[in-house]
Structure 1
Amino acid sequence: MCLFVQEKARKNCLFVANTLSSTKELVECLDRVMVALLIVGTTILWLLLTGLTTTEALIVIGSPIATFIIMFGDTSKTFFQGIVFVYLVHPFDVGDLCIIDDNMLEVVTIGVWKTTFSKVDTREEVIYPNSDLASKTIINHKTEFDWNDNVDVYVTDNKMIDTLEQTIIE
């Protein structure tokens, strides 16, 4: 009985570690995006304030930037949809059992772009983009370990009590 509790606690620690690594991935990704935006904005503001460039020059520089935005606008839209889906909607945690498209899946990792699942019956790895998951029906069976669960133990003799005490002490 004690081994079962220890195994569940070990699995919960792994789930927490995976969730923290996913959060770390998000923070690093957002940090890179914000640093890039700050560098570009500061550079443009510095050029305007020092008089090294004029607004006409910025229009010439801005046209390739507008092309870039048109080309990669959908990517940035998907990126921010993933952030909203994972961290605001937050439909599941690492380790939860979910039913998606009539498949029982266990959540392995959660990222900004994609979420990795493992099929319960075959242990196959399935990767869904978060933009696809946002439009799917997800049935979540939480697998959080409740430390307040009770375990009924029926002991009939003193030898069993001594064995249980030794197992708990160990």
Structure 2
Amino acid sequence: MKEYDFTLKFSIGNFPIDPDSYVEALYTGGCDDALIGVGKKGYLSLNFIREASSAYDAISTAIADVKNVIPSANLIEAAPDFVGLTDVAKIIGCTRQNIRKLIVESEPRSLLPIYEGTPSIWHLAEILAWLREFKTYSIDDSLMEIAKANMDINIAKSWQKVAPTAQEKIQRLAL
């Protein structure tokens, strides 16, 4: 069993229930391996360090545990996934400027962001794979696995927002 460190963010609605009451229920409901944040009204953030046989198992059991305690909880994001240069630098243990230099000097083979702007955003799994493959960085396998699982979950969640009647057409366009 490996340990996986990840964060799940949920919308719980604007119920007149004190969010602190959820903390104890989540703890006894299987989330005793999470730090639970209730800062913003109607939202919960849980940072897990969960032992499991795979990243997917760790994340899926954590989501199930939250939904068992709060059935109305709606997953907003599984993290880490969406990252900017500063996030990547922190994860890798170098400077933001170093990561930027790697990307700029690697053009046109550098990884394209999913959002190009200020700041540009990448999927962590893709940038870690790129750093490992093309820049020979040593990346922890557990981090790679959790980043890939989170990316898959977030993409699947976004895909659910596409009207079923449009999904087939869009799939053909994207391939």
Q: TM-score with structure 1 length normalisation?
A: 0.22
**Larger Rg over CA atoms:** 1
